[in-house]
Amino acid sequence: MYFLIAAEAAIFTIFVVAYIFYVGKSATGPQPAAVLHAPLFLTACLLSSSLTTHLAVRGLRSRNVRRFTWWWCGTVILGGIFVAGTAREWRHLVYQDGLTIQTNLFGTTYYSLVGLHAFHVIAGLLALAVVLVFAIRGDVRQEHSARTEVLSMYWHFVDAVWVVIFTVVYLIGR
């Protein structure tokens, strides 16, 4: 997992640098300040999901599978809210603001960076959901806590990347 996270961090770094380099260089189309609104609620949901994941793993380590299942389910719900909110934001940007990946450099770098993150959130959610199904079926036990901790490391990484993206795209890059 450490090697995967290191490789993914390198990829995200490239995308963040590209966004920073190209933001404000579009001659046409909507600019970031005109169309982007900081998704504070979605950010709170995603960052809270790191806490729920941590609490789930801690519950499993202490042999409390029921607590694990509830906190893990909370993580899936919070991550799902984040993805649904991102889809809603993109729908608004495309249909109300006319910003697509082809509109200008801002659109290209924005959708590439935020889309890369959304892809990672969806991949993480799928993995979390599979574990949740196993937990609901009663197939998760305390001896699986190390495995769930590895998955939670990936989830924490995805959340940490969002902090960087949120800062660059919605705070600095506007």
* Longest CA–CA separation in the chain, Å: 58
Residue 23 falls inside a structural domain: no
Residue 35 falls inside a structural domain: no
Number of domains in the chain: 1
Gyration radius of the chain's alpha carbons: 18
Residue 109 falls inside a structural domain: yes
Residue 8 falls inside a structural domain: no
pTM of the full structure: 0.94
Interval 88-128: pLDDT, tens = 999 999 999 999 999 999 999 999 999 999 999 999 999 99
Interval 60-75: pLDDT, tens = 999 999 999 999 999 9
Q: Write down the mean pLDDT value for the chain.
A: 96
Interval 47-56: pLDDT, tens = 999 999 999 9
Domain membership of residue 155 as a residue range: 40-172
In angstroms, the Cα distances linking 124 to 107, 143, 150 are 25, 21, 12
Residue 131 falls inside a structural domain: yes
Residue 7 falls inside a structural domain: no
Interval 129-145: pLDDT, tens = 999 999 999 999 999 99
Residue 27 falls inside a structural domain: no
24: pLDDT strictly greater than 90? no
Residue 13 falls inside a structural domain: no
How far is 107 from 169, CA to CA, in rounded Å? Answer: 12
At 44, which CATH number?
Answer: 1.20.120.80
The token pair that represents 55 in the structure block: 């609490």
The token pair that represents 144 in the structure block: 């699986």
How far is 106 from 95, CA to CA, in rounded Å? Answer: 16
